Chain A
Amino acid sequence: MPSPRYWREIPSRYRLEATKCSSCGKVTFPARKVCPGCRSRELGKLRLSRSGRVVTCTVVHVPPGDFLMHAPYALAIVETPEGARLMVQVADCDPAAVAPGMEVALEFRCIRKEGHGGILCYGYKGVPTPPAGAEEPPLAAGNDAAAEKPQPAATGTPEASHA
């Protein structure tokens, strides 16, 4: 990733800066100079909420080179309360559990690294928001991929925490 290209996108990648059309109200992310809805040039700035709902999703099993060790990972198109849609990975959950309608929080993460010597590229990923009032999941739940297993709760009992 050439660094000027990365640097130009910092407002959208770090702060979710979007534009809202003064004529038709359409919210576009990332920011644009021409409204894709009505072609107006009168576009005001807007920062998106760090939350949204999954519109559609998939789990990538065959990743591109930079994401080699990351697969399988979930990708989703998420719609924020402002009506903007963005493509993000969904992290910190079983990728297969991601489904349309799921509520996510948007968290700042390192999206990609350019090999061993290139720049680090940051942005947002979705993290599922547990429904309000949900019970604490048992330790056995929520595996990242088939291989991540629940650990027995046997170790780490209160006995071990008192010297």
Chain B
Amino acid sequence: MAGIVGYGAYIPRKRITTEEIARQWGKDPGTISRGLLLQEKSVPGFDEDTITISVAAGRGALERAGVDPSRVGAVYIGSESHPYAVKPSGTVVAEALGIGPEVHVADFEFACKAGTEAMFVALALVESGRADYALAIGADTSQGAPDDALEFSASAGGAAYLFGREELMAEVIETYSFTTDTPDFWRREGEFYPRHGGRFTGEPAYFKHVTAATRGLLQKSGLAPEDFRYAVFHMPNGKFPLAVGGQLGFTREQLETGWVVPTMGNTYSGSSPTGLAAILDVADPDDLILITSFGSGAGSDSFALRATDLLPERRGRAQAVRAMLDGEHRYVTYGQYAKYREKIIVNE
């Protein structure tokens, strides 16, 4: 039996409201906010990126696990906004956390599901016995094109999971992955902003894969929606995860805790992993938890987990997601947001 021995998350402290962005483009804030069920999103500073977010989240995971960094055998960072096009994020993160040099490092990419991808591989690695501990992180500082729907939701943040075989905070009961080639959202080399297929990103992409992966998991594990205390789905906006959850037979109550998107935005590879962290912050021993991610292109990874006695005992060692969302944060104007996201052309 393998599972999570430690977890952590990090959300940058700056915020911009949906209203502020809507006003910039002459759109009605109320309509946008109600349509997307989004209030505000996190904004990274110049000094924050996938690497720095991963280090902060990774520290939380190591602190909760109480594991010496030198025992970590693999570090996997999943993101669609790795700071370098060529040069791994994982090596910087490993060195900063004091992991290695005897360590396997890889960067993962699969739109918004690069985080759960890393988690899947880390889990499999420790299950096989090839490593005692493996750290998987999903983090992003994704861009949304100006005056595009995604600009309201694309935000920054990440979550980290340390997998092992002993002293688990949450066991992984089962996994299921569903993948097809679906060009719903992409970015070509050299392009600054991604592009997407508009409404095509809904039913044939998000809903199809999340539904198929979740149903596959339920069937494989013999579990039903009502067996779970909590469920979290990838959150590209506030509406989609509630809709798919409802379609799959989950109640509002089951979805609420993981539904962090209204004040965080879509942290892409960090999205469902951060929702999972918010659940682990409050779950009771023996609670069953479901997480299904979605990455455009397209695919979904689904996991079923069971919380253990160690969860309430150890989670206090690092900051909770709710504390990050509701605690100290500062609002920026659209102009400042454009500056931080490097949307302003400057002379070199």
Contact = CB atoms under 8 A, between A and B. Distances in A.
Q: Do chains A and B touch in the complex (CB under 8 A)?
A: yes
B336 A151 contact: no
A147 B335 CA distance: 9
Interface in B40-57: 40, 45-49, 51-52, 55-56
A132 interface: no
Most-contacted residue by chain A among B20, B47, B331 (CB, 10 A): B47
Interface residues of A, number: 37
A150 interface: yes
Nearest to A150: B331
A89 B48 CA distance: 13
Interface stretch (B109-117, B127-135, B228-236, B322-330): B322-330
Contact of B51 (A110, A143, A148, A150): A110
B310 interface: no
Contacts, number: 110
Contacts of B83: 110, 120
A142 B328 contact: yes
Given A122-B92, A156-B263, A69 B346 contact: yes
Given A120-B83, A136-B326, A115 B348 contact: yes
Given A68-B346, A161-B262, A144 B330 contact: yes
B242 interface: yes
Contacts of A160: 33-34, 37, 39, 262
Interface of B: 13-15, 17-20, 29, 33-34, 37, 39-40, 45-49, 51-52, 55-56, 83-84, 92, 95-96, 98, 238-239, 242-243, 252, 259, 262-263, 326-328, 330-333, 335-336, 339, 344, 346, 348
Closest 4 pairs (CB-CB, A-B): A156-B39, A109-B47, A151-B331, A108-B55
Interface of A: 10, 14-15, 68-70, 89, 91-92, 107-111, 115-116, 120, 122, 125, 130, 136-137, 139, 142-144, 147-151, 155-156, 160-163
30 contacts: A14-B92, A15-B95, A69-B344, A89-B47, A92-B14, A92-B45, A92-B328, A107-B52, A107-B56, A108-B52, A108-B96, A109-B48, A110-B48, A110-B51, A115-B348, A122-B52, A125-B47, A136-B326, A136-B327, A137-B328, A142-B330, A144-B14, A144-B332, A147-B333, A149-B331, A150-B331, A151-B15, A155-B17, A155-B33, A161-B259
Given A108-B56, A122-B51, A155-B29, 19 more contacts: A70-B46, A92-B45, A108-B55, A109-B47, A109-B48, A110-B51, A110-B83, A116-B348, A120-B83, A122-B52, A122-B92, A148-B332, A149-B333, A151-B17, A151-B19, A151-B20, A151-B40, A151-B331, A161-B238
